Amino acid sequence: MNTTDSTGNEIIQQTQENFSAWTKYWQNIDWDKILGIIISKGITLLLTTLIFLLLLKGGKSIIHHVYLRYLHKQDRPQARTKTIRTLLDNLYVYTLYFFYLYALLSIFGVPVGSLIAGAGIVGIAIGLGAQGFMNDIITGFFILLERQLDVGDYVKLLNINIEGTVTSVGIRTTQLRSYDGTVHFIPNRNITTISNLSRSNMQAIIDIRILPEEGLDKIATLIVDVNEKLKVEFPEITDGPNVFGLVDLGNGNFAYRTILYTVNGRQASTKEAFLKAYVEALTQAGFTIPNNIIPAS
C-alpha cells in the first residue's frame, strides 16, 4: 500500500470536514437578525450623536452670549472674563462628552455600571492624586470671579513673600514678574493672602534737602511755583501736589516735603520729574542742595 496516497487522502478528508463545518456555521447565522441589529444600533447612534451635537452647539452659544453680556458691563477686564468663559466652556464640553461616551457604551451593550463600580478604587486613588490640581482650579475660579487680581496689577503675596506684576491669571497657575524680570509660576492653591497695590491711587512723597538758613520762605515759594507749573503736565496726578513743609531727617539734616497722589503705576516717574524740577529751580536760584548727610555727633 502506498503511504503517500493514504496521507493525501486523510488531508483531503479533513479539509472537506472543516469546510463542511464552516458551511453549516455560515448557514446557521441569522443574517436578518444581525442586519436588523446593525440598522437599529446605527439609527440610535446617529440620533444620539445628533442630539449631543445640538446640545454642544446650543450650550456653547448660550455661554458665548452670557460672556458678551458680561463683557459689556462696566469695569469688566476682558482677560478675566475670557478666562472665565474658557473655564465654563471646558466644564460644559467635558461633562457633555462624559454623558456621550456613557450613551455610546450603553448602545453597544457595555455594562457601564459594572465598569464604574469596578473602577471605584482606581478613581479614589486618582482623586487623591488630583486633589492639589482640583484645589488649584477651584481657587483660580474664585480669584477670577471675585476679581482679586487682574493682568497688569502689582500685587504682594504675603504668605509666600513674592511680589510683582501679574502677567497671567489662569485656572491652575498665576504668573508674576518681579522687578528683576524673574517670572514666578504660582499654583493657585498657594495664594492665600493678596495685597493688591493697583486698585487705588498711590502716594508719592518728594523730599528735597535744603539748608534752612538760606531762607525757608523763599524756598517754599519756589517749590510752590514749580508745583503749579509742572502739575498741568501730569494728568495722572489725582490729588496735589501739596506742600507738607519742613521735615527733620535727623542729625541736623532737613528737607522740604511735597505730597501728591497719582494713578497706580505712575508714582515713581512723577516723583522723579518733580524732584528733578526742584533741584534745577533751587540751583538756578542760588540755593544749596546738600549732597552729604551730616553724621551724628
The tens digit of pLDDT for each residue in 218-247 reads 888 888 888 888 888 887 888 878 888 888
Beta bridge partners of 204: 260
**Can you tell me the distance from the alpha carbon of 281 to that of 161, in angstroms, rounded to the nearest whole number?**
41
Q: Which CATH number describes the domain made up of 202-284?
A: 3.30.70.100
Give Cα 122 to chain centroid, integer Å.
30
Cell numbers placing 7? 496521507
Nearest 5 degrees, angle CA 179-CA 161-CA 207?
A: 55
The CA-atom distances, in angstroms, between 234 and each of 237, 271, 273, 284 are: 6, 11, 10, 23
Domain chopping of the chain, boundaries = 33-118, 149-196, 202-284
Among the CATH numbers 2.40.30.10, 3.40.190.150, 3.40.50.2020, 2.30.30.60, which is that of 149-196?
2.30.30.60
* CB neighbours of residue 254 within 10 Å: 19
Q: Which amino acid is at 118?
A: G
**Can you tell me the distance from the alpha carbon of 139 to that of 79, in angstroms, rounded to the nearest whole number?**
17
Per-residue pLDDT of the chain (297 residues; tens, 9 = 90+): 455 555 656 666 666 666 666 666 666 666 666 777 677 777 888 888 888 888 888 888 887 777 777 666 655 555 566 666 766 777 788 788 888 887 887 777 766 666 555 555 445 555 555 667 777 777 877 777 777 877 777 888 888 888 888 887 777 788 888 888 889 998 888 888 888 877 667 778 888 888 888 888 888 888 888 888 888 888 788 887 888 888 888 777 888 888 888 877 677 788 888 888 888 888 888 888 787 654 443
**Can you tell me the distance from the alpha carbon of 217 to that of 223, in angstroms, rounded to the nearest whole number?**
10
Cell numbers placing 171? 485656572
